[in-house]
A = this chain, B = another copy of it.
């Protein structure tokens, strides 16, 4: 297992002078039911502020106004509108599903729709309740090597059938090898399982980040980096590391680190690590 260090941030490359927003990717985020709208709003905030070129959120209409009030940079569609959803699924480079998605039959239908419509050139990030649904319904990933799962330990237990106490590196590696998807196993020591490419330990992070929304913010950054930088594990590693690096910096002065404060700090921190 390799321990990550700041060198993983070298993927944050200087943008080419003659580039436009289209070069920084289209991300579609799907989530946010009537109860958990804040989750998808937080994911969208980190996704936009980490630099994705064009961000659209498919969520319950209940959440549209609050999303726009916080983040007019994002576009929004009613997640019950199949036609729009289909169009956006086609146009996107990266799909994120799960933050605040919920666990009912409609949530499941959305996840199934995404898994059915994912295309060869697209990466997919599965987070939050989508992981629970994925496990419960024994769904299949169409492009596992282009899929990132971001479970915390209990969600990983559901997905992997490995009890938390048995979640050893070896057991997790074996399960990841079967799944093939990249697994970001979130805990106070987040570990990234990427099959033959490697297993990585994030040495950063702190308990001030142990608050609702921290994971939603992380998955927005992962999606944003995949959209802008290489569609490879390296983008996932950098997202995990930077998220914790900012969290650690904020925790020096804050007893609790609000997820939205991490998002607000992204443009400044990415600039610090930009590679010439």
| Chain A residues near B (Cβ < 8 Å) | 12, 15-21, 23-24, 34-39, 41-42, 45, 48-56, 62-78, 84, 152-153, 187-189, 206-208, 210-214, 253-260, 266-268, 270-271, 274
Contact = CB atoms under 8 A, between A and B. Distances in A.
Contact of A255 (B78, B84, B256, B274): B274
Given A17-B207, A38-B73, A73-B213, A256 B51 contact: yes
A64 B189 CA distance: 34
Contacts of A64: 34, 37, 62, 66
A18 B73 contact: no
A76 B35 contact: yes
Contact of A12 (B53, B211, B255): B255
Contacts of A17: 188, 206-207
Nearest to A250: B267
Number of copies of this kind of chain in the complex = 4
Given A23-B210, A55-B212, A62-B65, 19 more contacts: A17-B188, A17-B206, A19-B207, A20-B152, A21-B210, A34-B64, A35-B76, A37-B64, A37-B68, A38-B76, A39-B72, A41-B72, A42-B72, A54-B212, A62-B64, A64-B66, A65-B66, A73-B260, A75-B212
Contacts of A41: 68, 72
A38 to B, nearest CB: 3
